[in-house]
Amino acid sequence: MKRRTINRIAFVSSDTPEALAACQALEKMYGSVSQDDADVIVALGGDGVMLSCLHRFMNTGMPIYGMNRGSVGFLMNEYRTDNLIERLEKAEITPLHPLNIETVDKDGNEFIARAINEASFLRKSHQAAKLRISVDGRVRLEELACDGIIISTPQGSTAYNLSAHGPILPIDSPLMALTPISPFRPRRWRGALLSTQNTVKIEVLEADKRPVNAAADHREFRNVISTTIYQDATAQSCIMFDHEHSWDERILSEMFKY
């Protein structure tokens, strides 16, 4: 692997005291430039600040290196102040392709968003949602009664998807995980693994009686009736991980936790 040269770093952080203090300390040690002039962005906080940076710098080629000053930080590296330049120059860059989400609400308004982790659909009343699921234009599940459903990328498979008992996907797998949340009918359906070449359509049945909200990472859309989801292979964000603690190693470690 050819070693890159890092001369200019831009630091960003969440607004927690821990992240702000870390940002101040690192800027004092290594200096800081504007985001537009940087060779790399170092994000301090949790997965939220990392996702924000990945969206902000999508399609710019700017690599994002995170250090955990938050709670979970699965997308982040270990926080250390020493040898940062060497860590950055050795870090592995992984390209991430987002999901495109095209949704229509009950008033006919159309929205388009991107999701790096997942698109999720959640019931908004005391009654279960009823969803129809189509793949590549063919109805595969006529009616799913559930609390919701998640469509996850490999990088998002260890987040909400895992909490809903969905599968963990290797980062380079050309797959999406389709995972139901508390399925009631059909009770035994536990989801599906789909190719990133597939297009998924989620239709909300009885939308007035059983309202559903959709979310694409941090963006939410209320009272949706129809949503189309597919991977946008033309869009790309770049995330960095320490060479000795790569994404593949993180995935394997998570798979064998007990």
Burial class for 244, CB neighbours closer than 10 Å (0-12, 13-18, 19+): exposed
Is 117 assigned to a binding site?
A: yes
**End-to-end CA distance of the chain, in Å?**
34
Is 160 assigned to a binding site?
A: yes
| Of 61, 36, 50, 87, the residue nearest 235 (C-alpha) | 61
Q: How many other C-beta atoms are found inside a 10 Å radius of the C-beta of residue 28?
A: 10
Q: How many CA atoms lie less than 13 Å away from 243 in the CB half-sphere?
A: 11
Is 91 assigned to a binding site?
A: no
Is 153 assigned to a binding site?
A: no
Is 228 assigned to a binding site?
A: no
**Residue 47 annotated as catalytic:** yes
Is 61 assigned to a binding site?
A: no
DSSP string, 185-237: BSTT---EEEETT--EEEEEETTTTS-EEEEETTEEE-SEEEEEEEE-TT--E
Beta-bridge partner residues of 174? none
Burial class for 196, CB neighbours closer than 10 Å (0-12, 13-18, 19+): middle
Among the options 36, 39, 47, 105, which is catalytic?
A: 47
Is 163 assigned to a binding site?
A: yes
Is 161 assigned to a binding site?
A: yes
Residue 23 phi, psi dihedral angles, 5° rounding: -60, -45
Is 118 assigned to a binding site?
A: yes
Binding-site positions for NAD(+): 47-48, 117-118, 147, 158-163
Q: Which residues are annotated as catalytic?
A: 47
Binding-site positions: 47-48, 117-118, 147, 158-163
